């Protein structure tokens, strides 16, 4: 169900983006096709492409990375690493912390709940960072760097 929700949110984002693009082109008289053509076969092709991209997005747009460390021991390091990336803790329990973007720009870019990074414990000595691929990779890089600097 989570996958389906992410696909629907991405479809809505694409619909808004393409709608705005067509509106600007229409208002500036640079639209190469008429609005009636958009409701015909060209519009159907665009709709099929949008559905295909939206269905594939959750598989390719999200990632999980594993880091050596302990969530309980290194919570302060993880908090500071994600604060540097513009994230603040939203909720937590003993095995998982959910961080959410603090900046308005980042929240708008990832609207619909995609602005979250989930840091969870896997066993005693592993931390898993999950979220939008780009943001999760940056969080992994920051956390790994701070953990390595702390172990010197």
Over the chain (152 residues), the average pLDDT of each successive run of 10 is 76 86 88 78 85 80 86 87 89 88 76 79 88 88 85 56
**Global pTM?**
0.70
Helix 75-84 and helix 133-150, axial crossing angle in degrees, nearest 10:
130
| The pLDDT of residue 129 | 92
**CA distance linking residue 107 with residue 139, whole number of Å:** 16
In this structure, is the dihedral angle defined by the CA atoms of residues 7, 12, 16 and 18, taken in order, positive or negative? positive
**CA distance linking residue 130 with residue 27, whole number of Å:** 41
Kindly tell me the burial class for residue 65, based on how many C-beta atoms sit within 10 Å of its own C-beta (0-12, 13-18, 19 or more). middle
| The pLDDT of residue 99 | 92
| The pLDDT of residue 113 | 65
The DSSP code for 112 is: T
């Amino acid at each position: 169900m989570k996958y389906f929700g992410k696909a629907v949110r991405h479809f809505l984002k694409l619909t808004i983006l393409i709608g705005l693009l067509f509106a600007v082109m229409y208002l500036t008289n640079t639209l190469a096709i008429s609005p009636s053509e958009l409701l015909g076969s060209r519009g159907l092709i665009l709709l099929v492409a949008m559905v295909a991209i939206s269905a594939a997005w959750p598989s390719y747009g999200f990632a999980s990375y594993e880091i050596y460390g302990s969530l309980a021991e290194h919570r302060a390091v993880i908090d500071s690493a994600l604060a540097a990336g513009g994230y603040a803790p939203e909720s937590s329990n003993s095995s998982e912390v959910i961080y959410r973007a603090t900046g308005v720009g980042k929240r708008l870019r990832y609207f619909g709940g995609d602005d979250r990074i989930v840091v969870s414990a896997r066993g005693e000595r592993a931390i898993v960072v999950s979220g939008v691929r780009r943001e999760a990779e940056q969080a992994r890089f920051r956390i790994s760097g701070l953990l390595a600097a702390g172990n010197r």
